[in-house]
Chain A
Amino acid sequence: MLDYIISKYNFWMYIVLMMIGLYAMVGKRNFVKKLIGMNIFQSAIILFYVSTGVKAGATVPILSGHGHGHEVIEVAKYLNPLPHVLMLTAIVVSIATTGVALAILILIYRRYNTLEEDEILKIRKDAGV
């Protein structure tokens, strides 16, 4: 049982973090809290991916001192580089989405002077929309 938990606990921790972020995105009523939830969700996915590339006892995937020598490179000694690459792109996408969402929030704030969803709905209903 303890073996099973040790072999999977990294995935479970990241899933719990993802769900915290998802709850904030869906359940909270303040727009900025939703945005922070989105950031938490995306960061947890990034951590999840990076943890899949781990190999026990391996080092970072950078060759040091090999130059152009044709020595045999042992695969089990280096980490898997592909999840790191995918996540570099995902980090950038996450930043870009946060930036665009913040710009939209500035537009909302200029118009309604508040960032609470309940108050904005009330303002719109009073205006007859």
Chain B
Amino acid sequence: MKVLALISVIMTGALLIYGTEEMPDWGDPNSPASSHVSPGYIQEAIEKTATPNMVTAVLADYRGYDTLGETTVIFTAGIACVLMLRKKRKGEGERYA
């Protein structure tokens, strides 16, 4: 079982490293990731959102919906823990919802 896990892990790692061959170099300012969408964020964040911190501007304004989803994820995890772990207390009746 451990041998099988080791083989599949090595194959996955090899596939990932094979994919890095054609990636842009580390720190390249002309990579597609740095030249397609993010110049718009960097140049226009201050005038459209009046926030000097660009990460906050993207997080709370442009992609604010993802932040709402992330808050919902925390809420879901909290309710899941309540669902699983709350023990029934004896003699308390209907005090809890």
Q: Which residues of A contact B (CB under 8 A)?
A: 6-12, 15-16, 18-19, 22-23, 26-27, 51-56, 58, 61-64, 66, 68, 70, 73, 75-76, 78, 80-86, 88-89, 92-93, 95-97, 99-100, 103-104, 106-107
B9 lies within 8 A of A80 (CB): no
| Cross-chain contact of A106 among B9, B31, B45, B85 (Cβ < 8 A) | B85
Q: Report the bound CA distance from A9 to B26 in whole Å.
A: 8
> Known contacts A16-B13, A61-B55, A81-B54: does B8 contact A103 (CB below 8 Å)?
no
B-side contacts of A56, CB under 8 Å: 27-29
How many residues from B make CB contacts under 8 Å with A?
Answer: 53
Question: Taking chain B's interface residues, is the majority helix, strand, or loop, or is none over half, making it mixed?
Answer: helix
A100 to B79, CA, bound (A): 9
A61 touches B42 (CB 8 A): yes
- Whether A73 touches B20, Cβ cut-off 8 Å, given contacts A56-B27, A100-B81, is no
Residues of the A chain whose Cβ atoms lie less than 8 Å from the Cβ of B54: 61-63, 78, 81
